[in-house]
Amino acid sequence: MFSKDELIKRFISYVTCDTESDPNSSATPSTEKQWVLARRLVEELKVIGLSDVTIDDNAYIQATLPSNVAHEVPVIGFISHFDTSPDFTGANVTPRVIENYQGDDIVLNAKEQIILSPNDFDDLLLYIGNTLIVTDGTTLLGADDKAGIAEIISAMQHLLAHPEIPHGTIKIGFTPDEEIGRGAHKFDVTRFGADWAYTMDGSQIGELEFENFNAAGAEVTISGKMVHPGYAKGKMINSTYLAQQFIKSLPEQETPERTEGREGFYHLHHFTGDVEQTTLSYIIRDHDRDKFEKRKRAMHQIAQDMNDALGIDRVKVEIKDQYFNMREKIEPMMHIVDLAQEAMEKSGVQPIIKPIRGGTDGSQLSFMGLPCPNIFAGGHNFHGRYEYVPVESMLKAIEVIVNIATLASEKSKNTNI
């Protein structure tokens, strides 16, 4: 149905272009190098024949595949991001294609003895007989989310090459800076003009997600008092010891490494301090909105209790909400999830419906008025040297996109979805 060799070539051309984003930059995009791939994508969208291809001053790309049917069909969007994570280098990516994988260890880098093994990543065994694209062990791959971009463009190219396949208007959107939480910040939902959309940004084949964490960031600042240690009795207040007290006051079992599914957590991801001042940086996560609010109140209460015991305010907590669970925006129109599920089943893919233990552009877009579930793009082990993607999963993602378009047209004609 789709050219495997062409897909591999397209994907590799994307991942070998460094688009790492930078959380310390206030610009959009956060790195100049993201423009290189963004401009290439614009030209590619024009070459394959999409209409209304635009890129704005912040590198947000939009394009349109016009309807080829006479009846009215909801406008559906497909969205992916072209930046890669700053958690691990995306420069000088050297991908390798492994044909007919047989479940053995893959030596990514013989010199450094970096091995991708099913003993460590048992999901590899799901893909025996598949073609895998892996790293050389020194960089991430970039399937998050250049696999999604390759799939969307390939699906649009297929629909353009086969005008006999019925579909309504389809909108395409590619964004910068998703990996630093800003991918949807400057997305023009009104101009995009879709009734709903799907981010092609999931992992394992079959993933279909319409709920994610409620998320907040917390900064805990603890003030101490420095006195010469030889004369410190009754005078010194060591902020690092107070920080330990604060940490111990949170539930020990409610951390990322001890939770799963819809279980929330507190995650201390950065600690800096000395006697005079210590700063703790947390992220707070929970799928349940009430439990999420309770977690935020608990952090404030710990600070209040410590300050009351000290007789002076030395512990300060600042919490900022980051995003919310898109489920509350998706549930009133669950037919868009049902449509994606049916499209997967039509492709012979078993849907895996589960909550995202993280965030997604789809969450922010849903609260901006564009309901946006998340569909698999096929990659595994994102943000690190062990990242890989089965090409067959990418081919199925293309098929799912096409099926969504055709099913929407069919259902609109027969049942007016």
The DSSP H or E segment spanning 414 is helix 391-415
Task: Collapse the DSSP code of 158 into the 3-class scheme (helix H, G, I; strand E, B; otherwise coil) and give the result.
Answer: helix
Chain mean position to CA 46: 26
d(CA 281, CA 271): 6
Residue 217: is it exposed, middle or buried by C-beta count within 10 angstroms (0-12/13-18/19+)?
Answer: middle
Residue 83 annotated as catalytic = yes
Residue of 20, 44, 83, 201 with catalytic role: 83
Instruction: Give the number of other Cβ atoms within 10 Å of residue 367's Cβ.
Output: 17
Which of the residues 178, 179, 201, 387 is marked catalytic?
178
Opening angle at CA 283, ends 282 and 284, nearest 5: 115
- Closest by alpha carbon to 7, among 375, 395, 387, 388? 395
Q: What are residue 212's DSSP bridge partners?
A: 356
- The reply to whether 144 belongs to the active site is no
The C-alpha angle 122, 377, 211, rounded to 5 degrees, equals: 90
Angstrom distance (rounded) from CA 76 to CA 81 = 17
Task: Say if CB 211 and CB 327 are below 8 A apart.
Answer: yes
Closest CA to 366 of 194, 226, 170: 194
Give yes or no for a contact between 116 and 106, defined as CB atoms under 8 angstroms apart.
yes
Torsion of Cα atoms, 231 then 237 then 239 then 242, to 10°: 130
Q: Phi and psi at residue 158, in whole multiples of 5°?
A: -65, -45
Would you list the DSSP string of 273-335?
E-SSEEEEEEEEEESSHHHHHHHHHHHHHHHHHHHHHHTS--EEEEEEEEE--THHHHGGGTH
Other beta carbons less than 10 A from residue 205's beta carbon? 25
Which residues have a catalytic role annotated?
Answer: 83, 178
